[in-house]
Amino acid sequence: MAQFYNIKFLKEVEGLSQRQIATKLGISRKTVSKYLSQNAAPTTVLRKRVYSLPIW
């Protein structure tokens, strides 16, 4: 969620392009584009099943 706000800040305040934001944060341009097209921060998804082995 912090990354969402960081991307929005870099675009709106600093005026960086999507390519510059992706390079600066080390993420995909597709991810930057996805976050910029959303109006609200993504919510966390709660998993219903644990996929790890139990420690005995």
pLDDT tier, 48 (very low <50, low <70, confident <90, very high otherwise): confident
Quote the pLDDT of residue 25: 95
Is 6 in contact with 13 (CB distance < 8 Å)?
A: no
pLDDT tier, 52 (very low <50, low <70, confident <90, very high otherwise): confident
Instruction: Determine the average pLDDT of the residues in 37-46.
Output: 82
pLDDT tens-place string over residues 3-40: 999 999 999 999 999 999 999 999 999 999 999 998 88
Quote the pLDDT of residue 30: 95
Q: Which residues contact 20 (CB under 8 A, 6 or more apart)?
A: 10
Secondary structure in 3-state letters for 3-51: HHHHHHHHHHCCCCCHHHHHHHHCCCHHHHHHHHHCCCCCCCCCCCCCC
Interatomic CA distance for residues 44 and 25, integer angstroms: 21
What secondary structure letter does DSSP report for 55? P
